[in-house]
């Protein structure tokens, strides 16, 4: 991530959140994807890589926090899952699998010689489904939906022969939810599309979409005519789990009458995982169903429980995806786009090329240095890939040696003509026009009203562009003055009284915005959604934050120390805040918006536990768990896990070898407990 600044990362994360949400809706809610699974995976992968490199920029609407898509538009009734249906993190190389195994071992504090067993199975490209059995009888079936709420497809799955209506066991559990995939085999998919074409009906893009469209029918008789299959790979809510390992429970599901993957196996090493991956990859073309990778899971269920989950995915499972595909094409031109932070981003326009079923016409070229590294110029033959660091990604220049001069990166902004320069130590070239640059002004306004910021319905990108062109919107505060332009808006083509009133109502509903969202919406460099929340958790009110930031900028060491003592706040954030409040036009924007809105005091809701709302520091060697697991426990109990002891620390958990942190805790009179006492707090909280 050396080739991207934090500001550009924030901008790209915003774009990725919108893109992925768009494709989630098409894929999960409408069964009408525009891109392949591999291209979607690559978008998600890029999002994860950026979040790992810049954890303080993680957005509230981040795709990593979501599973599937909400089912609001579905005609089917809704079902709330008792146990959330998760998705999986992805790996694309053996090294990433090794990193996952190493993370698991570190989290569990396992000795080097302590064995870890895994299960491995092919990842079928189907529709996730949860089947609830009570006393052995199927009572409800539901799709995954957004992971929390799915769609009721009980009547539909009654027509899938692979799904038993009654478990084949004498003494079934009181409650057991079987989870797996509804899918359609390749041959059945081909036959269905042939029949659809003959009947002039809807053609499906691939077997997964055919399965999803067939299962999510309001009329179950339509589902009955479709050749759907099912196999089980896990479970949700359960009054009793029939086994202590993943392998044992899946084998029990097989005995109860469920098909499971014929490639399902148990291995005792990471090399065993990779060997099985190679076996499945070789067999892939001959399998009767579509797969896109191999799923690995930690076998021991007690390990799974300790590992828990992070975001939308369990720590104890991983999807090892098959590699991306590549193709050759011609780079026809290079266009320059200006983002809200002023960064000039080069975009390559390609001669359309089909890469694994998707037509690719554009490719991001990152920055000036990346163009120099690849030596690309319009007219070059290039290799494009649909997965990896950037989607799509240009991976090679086949005509680098051709006699053409190098591409000249612009030294002036194409939007406003201002000088474009790279700051010392940075690779990004930025427009120096600031708020006089129309590209930056409109993009900042769009960011201000985006879902992660003030989330104002009805004020979309086209509307902002239109109002900006009319001179009605030049700064965030102008949004709240639109109430005085009701008649002017009504006079515009396409606007009716209802739409205007809905827009103004949405704006008025943000007169008392969440302070962290407002701070994030102002687009201060290095202040992402998570950083904004961390700042407001500490300062509670925006004027207090400004006062401390200005003091730090003026050289007040105590003010700077107060800022850097906040977890996740480093010198770059402190400098960015100081620079922001040092500029008169920024202070004017700040004062102007706070004259229009009144953010309430920022407070964080906490869970009911002995440490809820408190700051906990772990120090020394923990003997029964890793530091990561301990911090995860603290967060689940509503506490904040900090890395340093300060006057804001409420509790220190000290293990053997605790040093300076323990000494400082004693000096400050902070309560110190050992690991056993912490375990008691966790147990009492349930």
Q: Three-state SS for 646?
A: coil
Q: What is the pLDDT of residue 463?
A: 93
Q: Which among 566, 525, 518 is positioned nearest to 543, based on CA atoms? A: 518
Task: Spell out a b/e string for 7-46, using b for 16 or more CB atoms within 10 Å of the CB, else e.
Answer: bbbbbbbbebbebbbebbbbbbbebebebbbbbbbbbbbb
Give the pLDDT confidence of 129-144 residue by residue, as tens digits. Answer: 999 999 999 999 999 9
336 Cα distance to chain centroid: 27
What is the fold, at CATH topology level, of the domain defined by 615-684?
Rossmann fold (3.40.50)
Residues 511, 454: Cα–Cα separation, whole Å:
10
Residue 72 clears pLDDT 50, i.e. is over it: no
Residue 438 clears pLDDT 60, i.e. is over it: yes
Q: Which among 608, 632, 607, 605 is positioned nearest to 618, based on CA atoms? A: 632
Average pLDDT over residues 230-252: 96
pLDDT confidence band for 388 (50 / 70 / 90): very low
Q: What is the pLDDT of residue 389?
A: 33
Residue 71 clears pLDDT 50, i.e. is over it: no
Residue indicated by tokens 């797996």: 180
Q: Which residues are catalytic?
A: 123
67-81, 241-255, 455-469, 588-602: range with lowest mean pLDDT: 67-81
Average pLDDT over residues 301-308: 94
213-222, 419-428, 516-525, 587-596: range with lowest mean pLDDT: 419-428
Give the pLDDT confidence of 278-292 residue by residue, as tens digits. Answer: 999 988 878 899 888
pLDDT confidence band for 322 (50 / 70 / 90): confident
Q: What is the pLDDT of residue 66?
A: 64
Torsion angles phi and psi, residue 280, rounded to 5: -70, -40
580 Cα distance to chain centroid: 28
Dump the DSSP string for 538-550: HH-SHHHHHHHHH
Residue indicated by tokens 């999960």: 28
Residue 248 clears pLDDT 50, i.e. is over it: yes
Contact 443, 431 (CB under 8 A): no
- List the Cα angle 132/136/140 in 5-degree steps: 25
Q: Which among 471, 504, 508 is positioned nearest to 490, based on CA atoms? A: 504
Residues 321, 327: Cα–Cα separation, whole Å:
19
Question: Does an H or E element contain 144, and which?
Answer: none
Q: What is the pLDDT of residue 390?
A: 40
Give the pLDDT confidence of 16-50 residue by residue, as tens digits. Answer: 888 888 777 776 555 566 676 667 777 887 888 88
Contact 54, 9 (CB under 8 A): yes
Residues 223, 3: Cα–Cα separation, whole Å:
50
pLDDT confidence band for 73 (50 / 70 / 90): very low
Spatial neighbors of 372 by CB under 8 A, at least 6 apart, are: 406
Residues 445, 284: Cα–Cα separation, whole Å:
48
Residue indicated by tokens 């996730």: 128
Contact 428, 10 (CB under 8 A): no
Residues 581, 198: Cα–Cα separation, whole Å:
67
344-348, 489-493, 659-663, 673-677: range with lowest mean pLDDT: 659-663
Residues 285, 196: Cα–Cα separation, whole Å:
25
Residue 676 clears pLDDT 50, i.e. is over it: yes
193-202, 242-251, 266-275, 649-658: range with lowest mean pLDDT: 193-202
Average pLDDT over residues 335-339: 90
- List the Cα angle 427/362/323 in 5-degree steps: 90
Question: Does an H or E element contain 349, and which?
Answer: strand 344-355
Here the tokens at position 476 are 């965030």
What DSSP designation does 209 have? H
Give the pLDDT confidence of 252-269 residue by residue, as tens digits. Answer: 999 999 999 999 999 999
Q: How far is CA 340 from CA 460, 642, 670, in A?
A: 16, 33, 45
Q: What is the mean pLDDT of the chain?
A: 86
Residue 392: cis peptide before it, omega within 30 degrees of 0: yes
- Residues belonging to the chain: 686
Q: Which among 452, 418, 455, 410 is positioned nearest to 438, based on CA atoms? A: 418
Average pLDDT over residues 245-258: 96
Q: What is the pLDDT of residue 217?
A: 84
Give the pLDDT confidence of 98-129 residue by residue, as tens digits. Answer: 999 999 999 999 998 899 999 999 999 889 99
Share of the chain above pLDDT 70, in %: 92
Residue indicated by tokens 């809820």: 612
pLDDT confidence band for 273 (50 / 70 / 90): very high
Listing from the earlier edge strand, what are the strands of the sheet with 393-397?
Answer: 358-364, 344-355, 326-338, 381-385, 393-397
Q: Which among 32, 108, 104 is positioned nearest to 73, based on CA atoms? A: 32
Residues 162, 184: Cα–Cα separation, whole Å:
12
Dump the DSSP string for 416-463: T--BEEE-TT---EEETTGGGSHHHHHHHHHHHTSTTTT--TT--HHH
Q: What is the pLDDT of residue 241?
A: 95
Over its C-alpha atoms, the chain yields an Rg (Å, rounded) of: 27
Burial class (CB in 10 A: 0-12, 13-18, 19+), 524: buried
- Give me the residue spans of the domains in the chain: 6-65, 78-321, 515-596, 615-684
Here the tokens at position 453 are 């910021």
Q: What count of other Cβ atoms lies within 10 Å of the Cβ of residue 509?
A: 13
Residue 568 clears pLDDT 90, i.e. is over it: no
Average pLDDT over residues 431-451: 80
What is the fold, at CATH topology level, of the domain defined by 78-321?
D-amino Acid Aminotransferase; Chain A, domain 1 (3.30.470)
Here the tokens at position 104 are 């698991």
Contact 535, 519 (CB under 8 A): yes
pTM of the model: 0.52
Answer CATH for 6-65 from 1.10.760.10, 1.10.287.610, 3.50.50.60, 3.40.50.300 = 1.10.287.610
Residues 428, 227: Cα–Cα separation, whole Å:
53
Half-sphere exposure (Cβ direction) of 132: Cα atoms closer than 13 Å: 20
Residues 661, 623: Cα–Cα separation, whole Å:
18
| 381-385 vs 671-673, strand pairing mode | unpaired
Architecture of domain 515-596: Orthogonal Bundle (1.10)
Q: Three-state SS for 523?
A: coil
């Amino acid at each position: 991530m050396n080739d991207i600044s934090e500001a550009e990362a924030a901008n790209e994360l915003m774009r990725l959140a919108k893109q992925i949400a768009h494709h989630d809706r098409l894929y999960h809610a409408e069964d009408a994807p525009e891109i392949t699974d591999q291209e979607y995976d690559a978008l998600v992968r890029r999002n994860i890589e950026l979040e790992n490199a810049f954890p303080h920029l993680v957005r509230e609407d981040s795709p990593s926090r979501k599973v599937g898509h909400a089912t609001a538009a579905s005609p089917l009734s809704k079902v709330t899952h008792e146990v959330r249906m998760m998705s999986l993190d992805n790996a694309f190389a053996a090294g990433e699998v090794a990193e996952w195994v190493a993370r698991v071992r570190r989290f569990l504090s396992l000795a080097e010689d302590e064995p870890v067993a895994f299960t491995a199975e092919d990842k079928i490209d189907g529709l996730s489904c949860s089947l609830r059995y009570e006393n052995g009888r199927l009572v409800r079936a539901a799709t995954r939906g957004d992971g929390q709420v799915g769609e009721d497809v009980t009547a539909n799955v009654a027509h899938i022969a692979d799904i038993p209506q009654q478990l084949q066991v004498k003494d079934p559990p009181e409650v057991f939810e079987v989870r797996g995939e509804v899918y359609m085999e390749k041959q059945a998919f081909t036959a269905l599309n042939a029949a659809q074409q003959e009947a002039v009906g809807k053609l499906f893009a691939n077997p997964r979409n055919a399965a999803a469209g067939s299962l999510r029918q309001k009329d179950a008789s339509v589902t009955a005519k479709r050749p759907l299959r099912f196999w089980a790979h896990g479970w949700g809510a359960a009054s009793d789990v029939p086994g202590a390992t993943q392998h044992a429970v899946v084998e029990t599901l097989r005995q109860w009458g469920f098909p499971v993957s014929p490639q399902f196996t148990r291995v005792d090493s990471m090399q065993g995982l990779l060997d099985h991956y190679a076996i499945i990859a070789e067999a892939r073309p001959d399998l009767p169903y579509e797969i896109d990778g191999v799923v690995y899971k930690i076998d021991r269920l007690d390990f799974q429980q300790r590992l828990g989950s992070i975001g939308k995915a369990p720590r104890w499972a991983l999807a090892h995806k098959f590699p991306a595909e590549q193709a050759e094409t011609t780079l026809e031109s290079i266009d320059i786009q200006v983002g809200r932070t002023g960064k000039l981003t080069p975009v390559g326009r390609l001669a359309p090329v089909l890469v694994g079923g998707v037509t690719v016409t554009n490719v991001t070229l990152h920055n000036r240095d990346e163009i120099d590294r690849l030596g690309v110029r319009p007219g070059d033959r290039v290799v494009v890939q649909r997965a990896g660091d950037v989607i799509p990604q240009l991976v090679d220049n086949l005509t680098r040696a051709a006699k053409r001069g190098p591409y000249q990166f612009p030294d002036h902004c194409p939007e406003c003509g201002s000088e474009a320069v790279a700051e010392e130590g940075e690779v990004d070239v930025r427009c120096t026009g600031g708020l006089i640059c129309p590209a930056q002004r409109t993009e900042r306004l769009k960011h201000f009203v985006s879902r992660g910021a003030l989330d104002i319905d009805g004020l979309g990108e086209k509307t902002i562009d239109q109002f900006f062109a009319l001179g009605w919107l030049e700064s965030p505060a102008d949004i709240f003055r639109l109430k005085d332009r009701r008649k002017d808006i009504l006079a515009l083509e396409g606007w009716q009284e209802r739409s205007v009133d809905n827009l103004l109502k949405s704006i008025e509903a943000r007169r008392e915005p969440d302070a962290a969202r407002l701070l994030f919406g102002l687009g201060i460099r290095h202040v992402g959604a998570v950083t904004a929340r961390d700042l407001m958790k500490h300062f509670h009110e925006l004027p207090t934050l400004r006062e401390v930031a200005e003091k730090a900028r003026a050289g007040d060491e105590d003010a700077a120390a107060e800022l850097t003592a906040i977890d996740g706040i480093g010198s770059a954030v402190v400098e960015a805040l100081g620079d922001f409040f040092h500029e008169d036009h920024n202070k004017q924007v700040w004062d102007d918006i706070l004259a229009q809105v009144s953010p309430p005091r920022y407070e964080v809701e906490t869970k009911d536990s002995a440490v809820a709302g408190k700051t906990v520091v772990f120090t020394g060697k923990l003997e029964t768990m890793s530091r990561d697991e301990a911090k995860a426990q603290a967060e689940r109990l509503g506490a904040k896990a900090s890395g340093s002891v300060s006057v804001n620390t409420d509790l220190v958990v000290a293990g053997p070898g605790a040093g300076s942190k323990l000494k400082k805790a004693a000096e400050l009179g902070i309560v110190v407990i050992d690991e056993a006492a912490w375990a008691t707090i966790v147990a009492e909280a349930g």
